[in-house]
Every structure is written in C-alpha cells, then in structure tokens.
Structure 1
C-alpha cells in the first residue's frame, strides 16, 4: 500500500467500526434471516455469485464481525486505494464512496445488498488488474490475443479460502516487465506533479557547436528526462550530444547525436502523452498475464526487432520488417508456438495476394510474374497460354500459385513456422535493403528477419553440437527440408509503444499502426485518466 493510501486507510478503520456497531444493534436471529434473504435476492442476478453464496448458505464474507471478515474488508479497501497505481479507473474503486455506502447500510436488507455489491466489486477489480479492463479484439480487430480470463466462481472461492491481502497482491501480472512499467508510471506521475519536462525545444536543426536559447531548452529538457546530468553549458557540447544519443537510442532513432526533425518531434512529445503509452503498455501486459516460456521469441512490431529471450534476457536480436500500414497488410498480434523451420522453402502465395495483385497483372499479360508457377487443384502446373485470365475475378479464380525454392524466393532460404490461422510466420527475404530503413513497414503481414541464418543457428543450438554445419548441410541440397524443433518455442507477436529494457531503461516507439491511440481512447472511456502525484 502506498503512503498516500495508508493515511486514508486509517479513516476507513474508524468508519468500519461504526458500521460493525450498527450491525450488532438489531436482534440477532431476525437480522441473520433478513440478511441472508437479501444476499440471495441480490446474488440471484449473477450466476457465479448465486452459486458461491448458495454453497455457504448465503453467509457473508465482507460485512460480518469476525476477524476474517475484517481482514477481507481491509485488504479489499487497501487494494482499491491503490487501483490508480495500476492505471485502473479510480472512480470505480473509490474507497471513500464505498465506505459511505457501508455506513449508510442500516437494515439487514441494505447490508445484504452491500455484501453482494462488494463481491461484485471484488470480481470486477480482480479481472481489471489481472487480465485487463478492455477486451482487446473489440478495440482493435488485429489483436488476436487469447486473454487468460479466470472463472469468476473459482476466483471468489479461492479468495475466500486464502489470505486476503496475499491473494489480492498476487492478482497483477508478476512479470518483470509489469513491475518495471509500474515503477516508471509512478516516476512519471511524480514528474508531472513537478511540471513535467519543462518547455518544448524550439524548431530548427541542432548539432555540435550550436548555441542560443534552443540549446538551453534542449539541455534543460534532456536533464529533466534523465538523459544527461545537470549542466550550465549554453553550447551544444559533448555532454549534450551524448544525452541526445541516449535519447535517440531509447526512442528507436538513429543515434547520430544531431537533433533533426524526427528527433525534435520525439523530444517535444509531452510527458503526459508518454505516460499514456505506459498505461496502455500495462493494460497490454495484463492481457498476457501467463508465463511466456523460459525461452521464447519476442517480436515487438513497433520496435522492428525479433528477439530470442532466455529467462528475461535477450540472447539473440535481429532487425525485422513487419506488415505495411495498409489495413489489410498490418501484422496481427497473437501468441503461438514455433514447431519447425523449413530450409529452402517454397512460397505458396496467399490467395489475397493472388487475387488482389497477381490476377490483374495476369489479365494484362499472361506471362507476368513468370517466376511463379500456377497450379490447379491437384497441384499440376498449368499452361498460362491456354488460360483466358480475363474471365476470372477475385471470387472465382480457380488456381493456386507457388514459387519454388531459390535465392530469389519471396521467403528467402528459410522460414520459421508456428502454424496459425492467420498464415503469419518469420522468414528470410531477398529484399535486404529494407533493413537499413528506420521504419520498416513493408511486408504483407509476415515478419522478415535480417539475420535468418543466425536466428536458425541459435534455435538449433539446443539440439545439435554444430548448428551451423547442420543448417548448411540441408541448405546446400537445394531441396525443401523441414526441421522440427525438439523443444518448441513460444512466439509472442506484440505491439508496445512503451517498454523497458531489462536494465530498467524506459523506451518509446512510434505508434505505427495507431493501435495504442485507439486503446488509450477506449481506456479513457472506461474512466482511466493520467494523474500527477506529489510526495
């Protein structure tokens, strides 16, 4: 519990004492009967709570006078007092309002209604802090995440049998990333109470040797952001250059130490906006509140990298190209398990590409895209000259298309498979020039890797003493070869505009698909707000 919450909590205890005294004032038997009837009536509208209270003969768990009841009330109100720390809608969990309602409950019927209401609040809070406020696919259809929702009856039953404070403390994600994001959120909130990052930096290119008011504003802002130590310099010196480079690295920018248009735009993003990104990242982390796998592959779309993680530490990192910004080409977000790789793969062209891109080309010229085979339903190659492509459209085109293994294959020389309904995988590419771009949104949705061979070596290192030799022995045959992973690896394709390095360094990236902006708007509609906290 935060220091702020502790002061308020003492007031809760005084008010609770009055509530308990009121409960004891009525004749015991009549009160118990009327109370249980009220619990039954109020719980009847909620299937999980109706079953829960029926199993305990409609006895309460919150509003009684036992030490267990008091412990549950205290733990719940304490958790509610800290709901804002987790970026939850504080109005839903206002302890002062809830205490006023408790005090106003005079009759057994009102106390029974309050009993059920507290259980409903507990279940809502548990879901919000454990698995998120929003249903992700309802906000952004490209988020295909399987959120690990807990059963409501099992949740309250487990709570009733557990240590209340310990149970509530266990609900938020236990991942190191969530802990680091929470710490950074509280830091930014304290910074906002002190005025944020100060005045924005005036426009214009800034580099070593520059001087004037813009350099002073840049210096002060970098100091407030934590990218350089305090300094009295009014000249763009080595300390400012180093601070700019640290800022650029933390924001996925070219670390050239020069404040150009892109760097200036990122520097002038307000602290409040960055805090919104952190809150969104925490909500996203709650959607993934389950073990990631001691070894897993982490693909943050906004960061344009694919990472092999071992026990929360990156052991291999490579640049990636992701889906283009067009709505039908954006890479989806989901988790699955990588089971095998294919060396010298064929490319079986997705039907969406066939009908949207290749069919119009074939209608103009039957010999277009000649490097790709056209096959019938039995896999037999057809004679292009014998087909009138003009008679077909997107709905009735009867053929498939396949590009055989080659160095020019659209998938390159290796692809990494985690079979999924979205037909998304990681793969090599002959278009190596795209990896030098800062923003790499060019694919049809799959994830292209800059270092696919090295990625394969790292994956194979767990099952062969010579992963490089093994890989090339299959590659050199030129034949399509499937290689199973003896230990399949979880793959998480995520989208984080705010994330931390394992060292704790907070990073930000561009919202390339605009998804986090939509999530923030949805959170705000649920009552989530940016706050500034002192002390």
Structure 2
C-alpha cells in the first residue's frame, strides 16, 4: 500500500512508498500481470499504450521510489488546486484517484491505476499548458493556433525532469498570468462578501451635483478603492478625481463626468469582473510561451498597439480595430512582422470591391474616382468603355488600386506580417476616429494613431537615425518596401481584463462579445463562480 499524508488542500495524498510485493522493485522488469493490466487499460494504438511499450512497462506513478512518490504527490496536489487557475474543480476527480491508489492491492489493480493516473495527468497537463477550450470552437474570429503538446511529450517531459519539476512548467509563468491569478482570488472573496454594494442610479452626474445618486456613486467608488472615504454629499473635486481614476482604469474618456457609459461600467458586478478574469486566464494559456524579447501587442478590446522590449512597454499608441459586424471584426492570431511599406498603394480587397464598389459603379461608372480599375495585366481600364451592370460579385473581372497619396486608405505607411487573413497595421487619413472612446470602425485591419512614431521605434534597431531614414523615403512619394532585419512577433489579442504596467487592474468592454462566448463555454465545461454569502 501507500503511506498517506495530508496536503494543505485537504485531500489525502498517496505519497511516499509502495509496499505491494507485485511492484517491490520498479528498477526490475515489471511482472507480467502488471504489464497485461497496462496493456488492457491503455487503449490499443494510443499514445499512452505506445509510451508504456517503449519504456518496457516501467511504471510512472505506482513505483516504490522517492521519484514515483513525488510524482504522485505533485499530481494530486495539482489536481486539487486547479480552481486557482480558473479550471473546473471536479474535472479530474482528485479524491477518486487517491481512493483508488489507497485501495489497489494486486498487480492488475496497480496497472489499472497507473493508466488512469497517466490519462488524468495528460488531460490536466494539456488544460494547464494550452487551455481548457480550443479557440476555433468558440468564435470564427479566434483563428489563433494553439499547438498542444502530445500526451507522449508530456509524459517524456515528466519522466526526464528532476524532482517532478515538469509540473512547475505547465501553467504560464508570465507576470500577467500570476497577477491575474491574484486578482481572481481577491474577486472571489469579494463576490462571497456580496460585492461593491448599492449600484448607482442611471443619471448624468458632474461636478457640483448633489443628491442620493452622488452619494451612491461616492460609496461605490470608495468600495472599489478609487477614492478615500468621505462624508461629503456633493460631487466635489475629490469625487471628480475618483471618477477619473475609474474611467482611466476602464478605458473610458477621463472627463470626470459620470454619463451613461461610465455609470454602466461602474454598476457592473464583482461577478462580471471575475468572469472577465477567468476568461483572461484561459486566453493567457492560449498565447505562445515565447512572445519574443521584442514583440508587438495589439489588444483589440483596449484599442491599443504596443511595442514591448524585454517585458517593458517602450511604445504605445491608440488603435482602430474592425467594425463589429461578422465580416469586419479583427481576428486574433500571432505572426511575425517582416517589413513596412512607405507610400503604400491600397490594393482593394475583393470583398470590398464586390460588396461596396461594384454596386456604386453599376449606378455610376465614374463613382469612386480615386480608385484605379485594372485588368489582369495591371493595365488601367477605361471606365467609359465598360458596362458594369453586366457583372456580378462572382464574375467581376477587374482589380482596384488606390495609388500612394496622403488620402490613401492606408495612409502613408503600412506594417506587414503576411498572413492568410490579409490583416496588417497601417496609417489612415481618418485621424478623427482616434478621439473616439470606442474605436471599432475598420474593415478588419488595425489603424494606428501614431504610425510614423511606430515606424521610428521599429527602425531604431537597424538605423542610426530612424526618423531621417523614414522621411527620406517618404519624401520620394514612391512605394518602397523596407525590410526589418529582425522580424518582430506580432500578437493580436483581445483582453477585457488585464494588469497594467504598474500592477493596476484594467477592465474593458467586450466590444465583439467574444469573452461572453468564452465564459459560456467555460461554464459548460464546469467552471463556476463562488457562492455569494446571504
């Protein structure tokens, strides 16, 4: 049998050694009964069956060495603590595994338990490392490729690491993940205690106002930690500062006026925020472990684009993302930026040609005159010689191009990470959109408020005077490709809950409704919020 110790999780752990004569010495070849049991309970042709056959059926878990005991203990401890990571508490039945470990007597029973421990370990390792859900199953905009480690890969990692250290490598080690876990614990306790108290009546509140709504807003901001306690019933300077701090932390225009948008966000419950953190933890598990010492991070929900160097944000600008319609929402994926194009032409996507421009041309051949129409050889077409009414979306034979200019739809520079989704970052002549609080207006690509400065930051790694270099090319007016000597990873993410650079918690609106879909899927998989007291 196994000796048993009590872990801090409260679940008994099968821990130290195995005294069954059937498996007294795991360094020797396991007995036939154990081998037959493993062969019986491991599905034929599975990775588990192949793994055990390759290792001569030497057990991973039920041996009598300190290494086996350490693996058993670490597995049960890990399974018992999955809720800390926002995974479903009952998904792996840790107590059931302990019971089976304690009751196993024969070599056949040990073989069955061995295979079950391996099966559960593989599922647990996969969920911790790459997430409980598959992104593509949730939303067609989640085109991120999550490459799971094979079951055999997890088992080899476990058996070749020292002191069961492989368990420490499963969950993301990023600062963001650890901070989100801390925020999750704080919110869970807050939910149990009933949240932030009374909500604020929907009304526009500003400096100088008084009344019950002002008091309710003051009290809620105090509970949330955005201002110190005060007895003033007036919307005074202290309350103004508290409102602005709240607005900044939620991506709202920090004007200090509590309008409908601010009050709606202020009234969101602690449970709503906790759901966002659960989703953020899952999303963090989907991301590549190696982001790149230098990488570009576009958070669509935050309408921002950042350059990150060695974990520090070295450049940040506002962004416009795809409009919230089925065919325009910006997708989520990772790639590598290879080059920029200064003075770009805009080669109009086929979808825009057929859905937007063809109907206009059918009504007026001279419509969208700033766009050149070209044939298959790239020659410009005489609009007056074409009857556009004879064409449909499926047989329209022409391409369309807007030459370089300040009014070009892509502005004066675009940043390319070639991908099948035809998504890139670029300038825009529509500068007024960056003053908006919510910025979902594009056809799917990401527009930057400060594209020139973004270019300087990228070129700084390869040009002595990046600004002068950039403007020298810009002044030619010619379309010019500038290769990046070191390709830069680009991560297009969507995060409604994240931790800012100073450790502050930030929340954003679910502009595409994707996080709600992910939360629904997590709930279906068994993730649950804590019970509320009372």
Could you say what secondary structure the match of 2:419 adopts?
A: coil
| Structure 1 position 219 matched with structure 2 position 237 | no
Hey, what's the Cα distance between the residues in 1 that align with 2:29 and 2:309?
61
Hey, what's the Cα distance between the residues in 1 that align with 2:57 and 2:50?
10
Could you say what secondary structure the match of 2:91 adopts?
A: helix
**Superposed displacement of residue 104, structure 1:** 4.1
Aligned to 2:8: 7
**Superposed displacement of residue 496, structure 1:** 0.6
**1:435-454 superposed matches below 5 A:** 435-454=434-453
Could you say what secondary structure the match of 2:470 adopts?
A: helix
Alpha-carbon displacement from aligned partner over 1:16-64 (angstroms, at most 9, x marks no partner): 68x956x459999999432221111111346211121112222322123
**Superposed displacement of residue 237, structure 1:** 2.6
Q: TM-score, normalised by structure 1?
A: 0.94
Is the contact made by 2:215 and 2:233 (CA closer than 8 Å) also made in structure 1? yes
Q: Which has the higher helix share?
A: 1
Is the contact made by 2:146 and 2:287 (CA closer than 8 Å) also made in structure 1? yes
Unaligned runs of 5+ in 2: 1-5
Greater alpha carbon shift after TM alignment, 61-70 vs 387-396? 61-70
Alpha-carbon displacement from aligned partner over 1:314-342 (angstroms, at most 9, x marks no partner): 11111111111110011111111111111
Aligned to 1:284: 283
CA shift in 2, pair 1:106/1:214, >3 Å: farther
Q: What RMSD in Å do the two structures reach over aligned CA positions? A: 2.2
Could you say what secondary structure the match of 1:7 adopts?
A: coil
| Structure 1 position 395 matched with structure 2 position 394 | yes
**Superposed displacement of residue 181, structure 1:** 1.1
Alpha-carbon displacement from aligned partner over 1:263-285 (angstroms, at most 9, x marks no partner): 11001111111111111111111
Hey, what's the Cα distance between the residues in 2 that align with 1:391 and 1:190?
66
Hey, what's the Cα distance between the residues in 1 that align with 2:261 and 2:509?
11
**Superposed displacement of residue 202, structure 1:** 2.3
Q: TM-score, normalised by structure 2?
A: 0.94
CA shift in 2, pair 1:464/1:7, >3 Å: closer
**Superposed displacement of residue 234, structure 1:** 3.2
Hey, what's the Cα distance between the residues in 1 that align with 2:359 and 2:501?
49
CA shift in 2, pair 1:229/1:6, >3 Å: farther
Greater alpha carbon shift after TM alignment, 196-205 vs 303-312? 196-205
Aligned to 1:328: 327
**1:245-324 superposed matches below 5 A:** 245-324=244-323
Aligned to 2:34: 35
CA shift in 2, pair 1:237/1:27, >3 Å: closer
CA shift in 2, pair 1:252/1:381, >3 Å: same
| Structure 1 position 210 matched with structure 2 position 209 | yes
Could you say what secondary structure the match of 2:307 adopts?
A: strand
Aligned to 1:77: 76
Aligned to 1:407: 406
Is the contact made by 1:190 and 1:532 (CA closer than 8 Å) also made in structure 2? no
Aligned to 1:507: 506
**Superposed displacement of residue 165, structure 1:** 4.2
Could you say what secondary structure the match of 1:309 adopts?
A: strand
Greater alpha carbon shift after TM alignment, 389-398 vs 36-45? 36-45
Is the contact made by 2:15 and 2:73 (CA closer than 8 Å) also made in structure 1? no
Aligned to 1:187: 186
Is the contact made by 2:15 and 2:70 (CA closer than 8 Å) also made in structure 1? no
Hey, what's the Cα distance between the residues in 2 that align with 1:142 and 1:102?
44
Hey, what's the Cα distance between the residues in 1 that align with 2:283 and 2:44?
31
Aligned to 2:122: 123
CA shift in 2, pair 1:8/1:459, >3 Å: closer
Could you say what secondary structure the match of 1:92 adopts?
A: coil
Aligned to 2:3: none
Hey, what's the Cα distance between the residues in 2 that align with 1:522 and 1:45?
31
Hey, what's the Cα distance between the residues in 2 that align with 1:400 and 1:200?
55
Unaligned runs of 5+ in 1: none
